[in-house]
Each structure stands twice: as C-alpha cells, then as structure tokens.
Structure 1
Amino acid sequence: MAVLVVGCRARVVIQLKLLMWAALVVYYVELYTDINMVAQHWGLDHSVAVILLVARCVQALAVTAAVISESSKQPPSEEEEVLKQALLGADVEAPAAKQKRPWYQLMFTAIMYVWPRTPLMQLRAGICVLAIAVMRLLNLAVPILYRDVVNTLADASSAAHPRAGDKPEFTTFWHIFYPYALLYMVAAFFQGGAGTGATGLLNNLRSYLWIPIAQNAFRSISVDVFSKTLDLDLRWHLMRKTGEVTRIMDRGTSAIQNVLSTGPATSASNALLEGYWDMNKYDNARGARVTDALLNYETVKCFNNEELEKQKLEEAIINYQKVEYKLMASLNGLNMLQSIIIFSGLIAGLVVCTKGVAEGRLTVGDAVLFITLMQQLYAPLNYFGSYYRTIQQQLIDMENCFDLLGTSPSLTDKPGAKDLVASKCSVEFDNVSFSYHADRPVVKGISFYCPGGQTLALVGSGKSSALRLLFRFYDPTSGVIRVDGQDISEVTQASLRANMAVVPQDTVLFNDTILHNIQYGRPSATDEEVYEAAEAASIHESITTRFPQGYDTIVGERGLRLSGGEKQRVAFARAILKNPRILLLDEATSSLDSLTERRIQDALAAKRSGRTTIIVAHRLSTIMDADVIIVMKEGDIVERGTHQQLVQMGGLYAEMWTRQAEAAVVEELGTADEIGTADDKSNGDVSEMAAAHGSSNSLVQ
C-alpha cells in the first residue's frame, strides 16, 4: 500500500511525500490492532497505550514537519510565475535573487509576534497550551473508554441473555455505568467532536482565552509593518509599486492571522484542518490591474481608453484562471486518489477486525476502537492535499512580510544624532552634489547661503532636487547642507522636518474632510486656528459658500473633488497652520490665478517675520520680491542676485523673463480679442490693449 500511495502521489504533485506519511499512518493503525491483541494477552494494556500515545505524537509532529518543509522548499513553478505576472503585471522587474528562509525560521518569527508580553496574557497562553495537551490526551483516551463501554455493555447483554440452558446473570445499573461509561461521558464532554453535538469544553475554553492573544499579535504585526513602510526612505518607495507593497502587507498579516486564529499548532491535523481556505486573497489579481486605472481615472477618460483597461483586466484574469484550473484539477484528482486509498485501508482493517472477532481474538469493543481511531486519523488526512497549496502560499506571504519588516532604510539617523537647535534657521549648501543614478548627476557642486528670515528662490533644472536634499529625503553624494550651522545629516530627521513645511506643486490630499487636511499641518490646532489659516490662504470663503457641508466636505481620492487651485490653497493653509521656521514652496502657485496668488503672497509676507523661505519657481513673476535668486542650469549655478540685478545682467534669467513677459502679453491679447468679438467692439479695444502691453513690455526690457 505504501508503494501504491507514493507512486500515485508522485504522479500528481512532484516531490510531495505527503501520502507516504499517510500510508505509514494506515500501517500504524493496522499494526495497532495486532499490538492491542498482544497487549491484552499479556496484560499490558496501559503500558502499550502510553507507548502508542507517544508514538502518535511523534508521528504527528513528523507529518507536520514533512508537510511544512516540503511546502517551503519547493521552488516556484512556472505556474507560480504566471500567478505573479497576473497579480503584479507583466512589466514588473524580476526581484533580486534572495536566499529563502527555512520554514522553522518563519514559524519562529511568527511565534515571536504571537507570544504575549504581559504576565496575564502569558498565563492565558500557558492555559491554552495546557488545554491543547489535554485535548491530545483525550483524543486517545476517549476511543479507548468507548471501547470499554461497548465491551461492558456487550458482556452485560450476553450475561442477561445467555444461550439455552444457561442461567441468566443480571448486573446493576451502577456496575455498568461506573467507571467506563461515566469516564467516557466526562471525557467526551471535555473533548467534544463527533457524536457529542458540540465542540467540547476545552476547545471552547482555549478559543475564548486565545481571542485577545490573537488580536494583540495581529495588531502588533499590522502596526509594525505599516510603521516600517513609513520609516523607509523615499528612494525605496519610488522603486516599488504601491499596489505591490499593500499586497505584501495585506497578505502577510492575513497569513499570520490565519495561523493565530487556530491557536498554537500541535499536530498536523490541527495545523491543516483548522486553517482557512484563503481563496479571497486571490481577488487581488484583478486589483493589481485596476489600481492604476482607478488612480489615474481622469487620464483613462481623457484618452478614451476604457476598453483598453477592460481588455487588460480580462487578460490578467484569464491568465490567472488558467493556472487556477490546473491547480484545482490536480488537487481534486489527488483527493480522489486519497479517498480510494483511505477506504481501501479501512476495508482491509475491517476485514482483519471481523476475522479477529469471529475467531475470538478481538472483542466488539476492539473493532469499535479501530473504526474510531481510523476516523480520527483519516479526517485530517483528507485535507492534506487541499491545504498543501494554502500552506505553501501562506509561507510565501509570511516570508515577504518578514522581509519587509527586515528591510533597513538607506537613510537613517546617525547613532547619537541630536535634535536640531533652531534659532534664525539660516540655510547653507556647501559644494553639494547629488545624483539619482551614478552616471546622471542632477546637482553639481552647488554652494549658496540664505540668512535666516530671508527669501531665496531657485530657478532652472535641479531646483526641486535641491529641496528634497534640504528636506533630507536623500543625502547628497558629496558636500554638506547646514541649517543654523548644523550639518543636517548629524541631527535627527524628525527635529529637522519639525521646523519645515512644504507646499508642493502637485498637492495630494487625504480622502477625508477639508478640516482634516488643513489640520494635518498641526493636529493639535483648534478649529478657529484652522479657519484663520484658511483665510490667509484665500480658501475660507470658497469652503463656506461653495461646499454645502463646509469644512466637513470629503475631498475625495487625492482631492479630486477640488480644483487644482483649491487643492493648492488647502496645501498653503496647511503650511501656514504649521507655522514653520523654514517654508519650502515648490511651484506652489502654478494653479492659482494672479489675484489669488497676490493675496497669498501678501499673507505670507505678513507672517514672514523671522521665517526663512525657499521658493522653487518656473513663473518668475512669483519670485520678484525674493532677496536672492539662484539660477541653475543642468545642475550648476550660473547666476545669482536680485530680480533687478539679474534682468540687468542680460543673461539666462533675463532671457527667461523676457520670454515669459512676451507670452503673458500674447495670452492677454488673445483674451481681449475674445471679449472684444463678443461685445462687437474688438478693433478699438484690441488696439488699446496692444498699445498698453507694448509699453509695459518695453519697460520690462
């Protein structure tokens, strides 16, 4: 039978030796019948029972280790790669080869999250382990007691109904009920399971005590994984897809939760039978394709590519379903083969038991004991094939999750780093160079100094990278950046960023209320302070008049319910509310009209006392009042000075200024022409407008 089992299993799933263990279990049960007969003959029932109990526990642990080890060491097949492509997309970079963790290391890491930290929780965990140990003992004791009850009843029945000529012997109820029937009832009540109509007192107690342990462990790992993703640097996030990271987080925590929900695993039957068939995790196959489409909804609509996105989604699902069909068909075939082999063993065992009872070597209770033990052993074996795939997938998910937890950010605080001591908040770049790629530098040895409380503007290529370096999203390749004379690489990132606020060009808001998005700049701020910041950013009136729910209006995903100008004004209000010592503006007014821009600049100027402001701008009209303007070209500083000085120099800045001024004249002429045509008086008005702009342009030049 063992040869047949191994042969059939090898034809279904290569390298899976699971049914070889099932065959050994069948052989063990059949052997148990013979051993039981010998033990009864020599009066060694109790000694043999203890030996068999130890053998069963060792065997269960061996089966568990074999299944998990085989699941974890099997390399990803071609079907696994198709699944990855369906889930992550065909354009995903192949990850760098990494050494796979042994399964026992994964389990040990998971146990570190499971094991509670407080004495009360540790006591709960200890009781759970003790309850499971007692349940394992009852798994063997209940069938044996059941056998004794059957034998007692059979003997009593035979004595009460003897053969013809023999005198009947009647026994009392208590003689029959005690001790075996009473012990069986008590043991079955605590064990539960088949025939009791309940799950058992011990199992319910263990489940109840395990609830807070599982919840604490799940909360711990979920928060740790989320915290780790926030701690990792910007370079790490830019190199990975958001959907891929969230899938690792969701699947990893889900895999650990599935382990925790069943309590501590003590045998192959518990580890497999009580696990969840987690097919819902494959719903992420379609999510991988639709995430980008939903995040870029406007782009899809603008280019009329709805059908293309539907086609891409359908192709991903078809590729996944092809693999799913092969896997499910293989598992179904495996289960049918297992059923045939299992019932063959059961029939063979019943033949042996029937022959033993007929010959007087076995009692009816022995036959009942054999059938009961077979049911206990075969029930979990029926799930081995089905749950092999689940175990393998959950080990992979746990490994990816633990790899994420073990990832170290490339940019961290140095040991012993101190908090930034901010006074005037002067900013200095000292021969700073930086490149995203070694062969493409974006900042080339730039040096400048901005005294505290002044405004410095950056124009040209490489300006936004300079802001990222100041915010310490990256460390420079060479050179030093100082704030108040302190090297920012020597201070903590939290203290550095606590003194800064940034208004980006592309403002992304949380899918929450307007109040929450503004208050995000300083969560402890009162509603009145939020309203004051909104007024300074010229957004308060729009919020109260345009939106029925006012500040409680949900802005939508990435703030899509707001216009571009409204989103930028919310970002301004958030920065104003924080009241930073250093304010960074990265093309912050690109979506604002001239009047709103002027109002915000006036509000910032009124609050600028003692604040250092660094502006990255393409529209030169927004930086005319800057104390110093740095002009960059291909990462180098080519000019510096005030607006008037740079215009008079006639260099790159003057050329950019003239080009933008001419573009503004043409734009306003076009607007005036449309207005004039609508009012049927275009000629005179356009001539006057052209003359006016002609004189202003000459003044500029």
Structure 2
Amino acid sequence: MTDQVPIKGAGMKIYLRLLTYVRPYWLPFSLGIIGFIIYAATQTGFAALMEYLVDAIGEQKEDAYIYGPLALIGIAFARGLGTFMGNYFTAYVARNIVHQLRVVMFDKLLVIPLDYYHNNASGHILSKISYNVEQVTNAATESLKISVREGMTVIGLLGYLLYINWQLTLVFAAVSPFIALVVAVASKRFRRLGHRIQDSMGEVTHVASENVQGVQVVRVFGGGDKERHRFQEASGQNLRQSLKMATTEALSTPIVQLIVSSALALLIFLALHPLMSTGMSAGQFIAFITAAGLIAKPLRSLTEVNGAIQRGIAAAQSIFELIDEETENNSGSLISDRGEGRLQLKDLCFSYLPNKPVLTHLNLAIEPGQTVAFVGKSGSGKSTLANLLPRFYEPTSGTILLDGHPLADYDLGSLRDQIALVTQNVVLFDGTIKENIAYGAMQDVTEAEIIAAAEAAHVMEFVSRMSDGLDTEVGEKGTKLSGGQRQRIAIARAILKNAPVLILDEATSALDTESERHIQAALENVMQGRTTLVIAHRLSTIESADQIVVMEQGEIIEQGTHDELLAMNHTYAGLYKKQFSETYTPKRVNRENTGDIE
C-alpha cells in the first residue's frame, strides 16, 4: 500500500471528500474566498495603475498626482484586508477540520475490532492522529489558501491581459501545456513519496514509543546500540524520502519559472520587434509586461504548493482508511440489568487464522456464583476464551450463553456491563487513585462507595500512608505506584463495578509475597457473589475453586475439583506436583534463611 499511487481520479475524490468537512463552516470559508478575490483583484489593479501612471506622464494629466497616490494606498489597503480575511478564515476552517478528523479517528479507535490493534503497530496508529492529520492541515490551509489566492490572481491577470491584447496573451497561454506536464509528473511522485514519508514517520513513532515504554529492559539488557540502530534506520528512511520530496519540489519550481520567463521574453520580443505592430500605447505595453510578470509568481507558488497538496491527499487517504474501518458488530438489542452470571459454552470453536484452531468444541456449564479456574500451558487458549466473553472476538462457530441468551443477542454495552476484568497487565490512566477506581461509567458514584471498594481491595492499606490519600496522582500508566498497588486498584475497580461475571486473567502472577497476600485477600472479597473465571499459573491460588478446567491445544482435557483432579493423577496432578517441587521447596528455604512468610 505504501508505494501505491492511487488510480486516476482517486486523488481528486479523496480531496473532495476532505472538503466535505468544510460544509459546516461554509460562512467563514466563503469569507476567506472573498478575501482572496479581493487580494487577486489588487494584483490586477496594480497592473492597471501602471497603465494609468505611464499614460498620465505621457499625456501630462494634471490630476494624476492626486489620484495616483490615492489609488496606490487604496490597493494596499484592499490587499491587506483581503490577505487578513483569506488567511484568518481559511485557517479557522482548516483547524476545525483537523479537530473534527482527530475526534472522528479517536471515536473510531474506540469501536473498531481488537484485531485492528494487533495488525497495526501503535506507533503507526498514533502517527495517523498526529503527523498525518498535520499533513492534511497543510493541504487544507496553506495549500488551499495558496491555490485559491494565486489561482484567482492568475485568472484576474489573464483576463486583464486578454483585455489589453488577446493575440499576445494567447502566445503566453501556449506555455500552459508544458506547465501542466511538469505539474502532472511531479504530482505522481509527490503522492508516492507522501505515502512513504507517512510510513517512515509511523515507524519513527513506533520505535520511539517502544523505547519509552521499555526503557528499563533496554538499559538492563544492553539494548541501547540495537535500539539506536533501529531508530537511526527509521529516521534515516524518513530523511531519505523527505529529501527526495525536497528534490522534486526544488526541480519543479525552477523548471516552471524558466518556462514562464521564456514565454515572457517571447512577449517582449514580439511587442518590441520593429515588424510587429501591437497597437498598444506605452501605458498598455508597461501594464501588459507588468501583468505578465506578476503571473510568474502565482504560477510558481501553484507548482510549489502541489507537493503539500499531494502529501495531504496521501495523508487523507490513510486517515479515511481508518475512518472507514468496520466497527465492532453490535447487532444485538438485548438490554439487561444485573444478571445472575450463568454461563454456558456450547460446541465453541475459535481461530485467528483459517485452518489454525485455537479453541476446539468447548462445552462447559458454569452456575451463578461459581469460581471456575482454567489452567494449562501457554497457548492452550485460556486467555482467548476470556477475550470471547466480552466479545472482543466473535466465535468461529458454536456459542456462549449468558443467563440463557447468546452473547450476540446482547447490546455490546449492556453485555460488557455484566463483566468486570482484572488482568496481570493493569491499565491505569494518568489521574488520581480515586479516578482510576471510579473509572468510566462509574465516575458518578459516591465517595463512600469508592472508599468501600478501596477497603475491600486493601487499597486503603497503602493509601492511608499517602499525604493526598485517594487524590494521589498515579502518573502515566501508574508508574508512581508499585505493581501490587496497581493490582489492588484494578481489583477495587472491579469490586466497585459489581458485575455478575468476573474475569481474573493472571491477576496474581509476578507479585511479591506481601503483595500476593493482600491481593489474595482482596480477590476473596471481589469473588463473593460473582461468577468468577480465573486464569492462573500459580495452582496454589485456585485450590478452592468450584471447578478446575485443564486445557491443552484449545481443548478441555480434564475437569473437576482440586481433590478430584489430584486423584485422577493425570495432567493436572502432574502440573501441580511439578509446580510444587519447583516453587514450594525454595519458599521453605527462604523462610528459613530470610524469615519471609508465604
């Protein structure tokens, strides 16, 4: 896609679609156009003033010393007014368009399927909202401004030239096909390079974002040289494409200027040749040459702006590709209050790729209030199953029932109201602890409800030692807090939501002993009265589950209570014994040597 040049006419369709965002701002846009018309008229007025002054000198008009200066001041005032109106109102419209596009893109990111995020690097997505939109700004502000202003200037001056001497004007107009050829060739290259620059800028953002997020790993494992090389490669690619764009711009402008100057030289030759009789007065001749000379600058500007327009079209294409992405399937209409939390899996199958099943013919019944643990090796499909419940993905075949209704029958918002989620990788947003507990739809709950949830999740245990209490800022992604503290805030968020179904995806892994003790106690609180699905590697944390489901390669191979599965002496028993020998014995050593309590 990156090197693809849109088919003929596609660029214009994209630009016209971009201009549809102008419709709500037709009044300021019209005022901007009027401003440019005034500006263009002053260019033609200046050429006409030259004719008047030269003829006035030749004819010794007595009132010329009054009207000439007044006309010059009037032209200057009109040009200033036109420039202000054109620049301000087009900028007003363009910045609003950019704001609209960013809002529409962000809104789309909130509702597109999850696989879009898996298929597109975060840096490239962010680049669309930041860099690509700014390229559209250039196309919608400077480019549009110059195109309208200079285009109308050219039209006005050509009209004046035709009025003075249409024969010579036709000679001047004969250079138009050559200019059009230069612009057409440059346009294709500009658009192709525009796509490459966007992709390379997305890669720059992607590499930088990865390093900001993984700075500790980079430093501890000595990845500085590798990451430096990656960034230099990404930035170097952007540099190379930008220089190619600059070269094309730098060549196209003087070529057009040379063509225009050659045409202007031909006009002077024909007008001054003894054998040619133009029938023009001295004033008309000066005015004609002045007007023809004034055309050179707007023509040059029109060719220079072509690069920005093509970059804007390429950027708009990538933006519209995101805007046109299909949203999550929300065809269900069932709106439910807090349900019981009864879950059924009926012949459930799922695959990310064709002919590569991740879940195969799962059948399972989970009663309200039960705690069901899913165990198995990595890649057995546990987390995938957890992602199917909130309909982040749709089953390939089979169905999942919640309280007797297929998930597809539920309105997405209503379905997700029935589910709370706590994962190993806790997501906190820049703000206070209170704001992160009462997040989203819970932002209007009372202070007492937040404190109760915080107490139940053992959040108050560490908040009580903070000077700002629940109003303590957590920092970006909760970096001001420890992993255990972040985890407890996530549990408090789940408790406050009070959903009938709770998903715990590796919620206690990779925590220290003290944090795990608090979190296990918090989890016991949050699991009460809820249907709980636990995905865990630490088998010691799920011994009291009502059911333990052992998965392997997307299938359920064992199912029962902890004691029943141990008695079977198959897969679960093997996993438990292996984990017991690997983890339990070292903990005993730690107790003897360091006094840690597990």
TM bracket, shorter-chain basis:
0.7 to 0.9
Question: Alpha carbons of 1:260 and 1:340: their partners in 2 closer, same or farther (altered >3 Å)?
Answer: closer
In structure 2, the partner of 1:446 is 362
1:432-462 superposed Cα distances (whole Å, 9 cap, x missing partner): 1111222321211111122222222222222
* Stretch moving more, 640-649 or 132-141: 132-141
Structure 2 stretches lacking a partner, 5+ long: 154-193
* Stretch moving more, 257-266 or 624-633: 257-266
Secondary structure of the 2:110 match is helix
Equivalent-residue separation in structure 2 for 1:397 and 1:639 (angstroms): 53
In structure 2, the partner of 1:643 is 562
Equivalent-residue separation in structure 1 for 2:152 and 2:460 (angstroms): 59
Equivalent-residue separation in structure 2 for 1:366 and 1:487 (angstroms): 84
Residues 348 and 399 of structure 2 are in contact (CA less than 8 Å); yes or no, is this contact kept in structure 1? yes
Equivalent-residue separation in structure 1 for 2:277 and 2:354 (angstroms): 87
In structure 1, the partner of 2:20 is 112
Residues 433 and 471 of structure 2 are in contact (CA less than 8 Å); yes or no, is this contact kept in structure 1? yes
In structure 1, the partner of 2:286 is 368
- How many residue pairs match? The answer is 552
In structure 2, the partner of 1:614 is 533
Shift of 1:474: 0.7
Residues 300 and 306 of structure 1 are in contact (CA less than 8 Å); yes or no, is this contact kept in structure 2? yes
Secondary structure of the 2:444 match is coil
Residues 269 and 381 of structure 1 are in contact (CA less than 8 Å); yes or no, is this contact kept in structure 2? no
Question: Alpha carbons of 1:471 and 1:217: their partners in 2 closer, same or farther (altered >3 Å)?
Answer: same
Query: Structure 1 residue 289 and structure 2 residue 203: aligned?
Result: no
* Stretch moving more, 333-342 or 579-588: 333-342
In structure 1, the partner of 2:126 is 246
In structure 2, the partner of 1:91 is none
Structure 2 counterparts to residues 658-697 of structure 1, below 5 A: 658-675=577-594
In structure 2, what residue type is equivalent to 1:532? A
Equivalent-residue separation in structure 2 for 1:618 and 1:256 (angstroms): 49
Residues 369 and 531 of structure 2 are in contact (CA less than 8 Å); yes or no, is this contact kept in structure 1? yes
In structure 1, the partner of 2:344 is 428
1:100-132 superposed Cα distances (whole Å, 9 cap, x missing partner): 76122112211111110xxxx443334444444
Question: Alpha carbons of 1:283 and 1:376: their partners in 2 closer, same or farther (altered >3 Å)?
Answer: farther
Equivalent-residue separation in structure 1 for 2:489 and 2:240 (angstroms): 48
In structure 1, the partner of 2:373 is 457
In structure 2, the partner of 1:399 is 317
Shift of 1:140: 3.2
Equivalent-residue separation in structure 2 for 1:209 and 1:154 (angstroms): 43
Residues 214 and 261 of structure 1 are in contact (CA less than 8 Å); yes or no, is this contact kept in structure 2? yes
In structure 1, what residue type is equivalent to 2:51? R
Shift of 1:509: 2.7
Query: Structure 1 residue 536 and structure 2 residue 440: aligned?
Result: no
In structure 1, the partner of 2:542 is 623
In structure 2, what residue type is equivalent to 1:458? F
Equivalent-residue separation in structure 2 for 1:359 and 1:478 (angstroms): 87
Q: TM-score normalised to the size of structure 2?
A: 0.81
Residues 48 and 287 of structure 2 are in contact (CA less than 8 Å); yes or no, is this contact kept in structure 1? yes
Shift of 1:205: 2.8
In structure 2, the partner of 1:501 is 420
Equivalent-residue separation in structure 1 for 2:359 and 2:39 (angstroms): 68
In structure 1, the partner of 2:390 is 471
Identical amino acids, percent of aligned pairs: 29
In structure 2, what residue type is equivalent to 1:115? R
Equivalent-residue separation in structure 1 for 2:240 and 2:525 (angstroms): 65
Structure 1 stretches lacking a partner, 5+ long: 1-75, 82-94, 158-170, 193-199, 679-688, 694-701
Question: Alpha carbons of 1:271 and 1:401: their partners in 2 closer, same or farther (altered >3 Å)?
Answer: farther
In structure 2, the partner of 1:69 is none
Residues 272 and 384 of structure 1 are in contact (CA less than 8 Å); yes or no, is this contact kept in structure 2? no
Q: Which of 77, 82, 97 is residue 189 of structure 1 equivalent to?
A: 77
Q: Which of 205, 222, 227 is residue 304 of structure 1 equivalent to?
A: 222
Residues 348 and 398 of structure 2 are in contact (CA less than 8 Å); yes or no, is this contact kept in structure 1? yes
Shift of 1:618: 1.7
Residues 156 and 176 of structure 1 are in contact (CA less than 8 Å); yes or no, is this contact kept in structure 2? no
In structure 1, the partner of 2:296 is 378
In structure 1, the partner of 2:105 is 225
Shift of 1:326: 4.7
Shift of 1:284: 6.0
Question: Alpha carbons of 1:325 and 1:434: their partners in 2 closer, same or farther (altered >3 Å)?
Answer: closer
CA RMSD of aligned residues (A): 3.7
In structure 2, the partner of 1:147 is 51
1:395-445 superposed Cα distances (whole Å, 9 cap, x missing partner): 111111111111214x4112x633245431211111111112223212111
Query: Structure 1 residue 656 and structure 2 residue 579: aligned?
Result: no
Shift of 1:480: 1.0
Equivalent-residue separation in structure 2 for 1:236 and 1:365 (angstroms): 67
Shift of 1:467: 0.7
In structure 2, the partner of 1:214 is 94
Residues 434 and 443 of structure 1 are in contact (CA less than 8 Å); yes or no, is this contact kept in structure 2? yes
Residues 484 and 515 of structure 2 are in contact (CA less than 8 Å); yes or no, is this contact kept in structure 1? no
Equivalent-residue separation in structure 2 for 1:498 and 1:601 (angstroms): 24
Equivalent-residue separation in structure 1 for 2:111 and 2:552 (angstroms): 33
Structure 2 counterparts to residues 58-137 of structure 1, below 5 A: 102-116=10-24, 121-137=25-41
Residues 422 and 484 of structure 1 are in contact (CA less than 8 Å); yes or no, is this contact kept in structure 2? no
Question: Alpha carbons of 1:500 and 1:566: their partners in 2 closer, same or farther (altered >3 Å)?
Answer: same
In structure 2, what residue type is equivalent to 1:454? Q
In structure 2, the partner of 1:57 is none
Residues 426 and 485 of structure 1 are in contact (CA less than 8 Å); yes or no, is this contact kept in structure 2? yes
Q: Which has the larger radius of gyration?
A: 1
Residues 122 and 206 of structure 2 are in contact (CA less than 8 Å); yes or no, is this contact kept in structure 1? no
Question: Alpha carbons of 1:242 and 1:288: their partners in 2 closer, same or farther (altered >3 Å)?
Answer: closer
Residues 469 and 475 of structure 1 are in contact (CA less than 8 Å); yes or no, is this contact kept in structure 2? yes
Secondary structure of the 1:583 match is strand
Secondary structure of the 2:15 match is helix
In structure 2, what residue type is equivalent to 1:231? V
Question: Alpha carbons of 1:624 and 1:288: their partners in 2 closer, same or farther (altered >3 Å)?
Answer: closer
In structure 1, the partner of 2:443 is 523
